[in-house]
């Protein structure tokens, strides 16, 4: 069994210990307490399955799915911002960070096709949460950045460029135009 996000920044291990990932102490103890090396991958895969299911059937995510997405990205962001850099690098497997990177690449592809993004540059709260987790990971840790460059001919950066270019009228600058 893996860890659980209880709400806010509180996470719980299967043995019942709880940690506040918004604190350095809590984030570090949480990272040290996970024994199964499943930090993000199983949760991200479950979210991706839910998104794929809803996209194929042209349905919307359930409130429960949205809540899970918010919680995992909030946890990733708080761990990125608060955990000791050395512990983060040593304890979170590259495979989990790669899984996260694949997940955000797919999300950015979807974001670039959203009408609200193309017309106004607005994204919903879930998309903003994904982007905040990307910023936190890239700002604080070298491993996600290295993996982004390693990712099949810089796939991450091509998708990011496509997201910026999708914004209509911005002439590729990523800013609102006056047109």
- Helix/strand number for the chain, H first, E second: 9, 3
- Predicted pLDDT of residue 179: 40
What's the whole-number average pLDDT of the chain?
Answer: 84
Distance between CA atoms of 174 and 156, rounded to whole angstroms?
Answer: 16
pTM over 0.85: no
Looking at residues 86-109, what average pLDDT do you find? 89
The Cα–Cα gap between 2 and 15 comes to 10
81 and 135 Cβ atoms separated by less than 8 Å: no
Residue 127's H or E segment, with its range, is helix 125-140
CB contact burial 104-122 (16+ within 10 A = b; e otherwise): bbebbeebbeeeebeeebe
CA-CA distance, 170 to 176, in Å (whole number)? 6
Q: What percent of the chain has pLDDT over 90?
A: 28
* Signed CA dihedral, 13, 135, 55, 159: sign only: negative
């Amino acid at each position: 069994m893996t860890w659980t996000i209880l709400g806010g920044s509180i996470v719980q291990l299967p043995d019942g210990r709880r940690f506040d990932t918004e604190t350095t102490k809590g984030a570090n103890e949480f990272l040290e307490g996970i024994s199964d090396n499943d930090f993000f991958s199983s949760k991200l895969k479950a979210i991706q399955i839910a998104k794929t299911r809803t996209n194929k059937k042209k349905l919307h995510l359930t409130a429960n799915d949205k809540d899970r997405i918010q919680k995992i990205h909030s946890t990733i962001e708080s761990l990125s911002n608060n955990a000791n850099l050395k512990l983060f690098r040593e304890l979170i497997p590259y495979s989990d960070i790669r899984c996260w990177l694949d997940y955000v690449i797919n999300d950015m592809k979807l974001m670039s096709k959203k009408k609200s993004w193309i017309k106004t540059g607005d994204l919903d709260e879930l998309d903003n949460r994904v982007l905040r987790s990307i910023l936190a990971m890239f700002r604080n840790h070298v491993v996600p950045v290295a993996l982004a460059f390693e990712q099949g001919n810089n796939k991450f950066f091509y998708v990011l460029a496509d997201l910026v270019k999708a914004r209509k009228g911005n002439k590729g600058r990523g800013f609102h135009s006056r047109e």
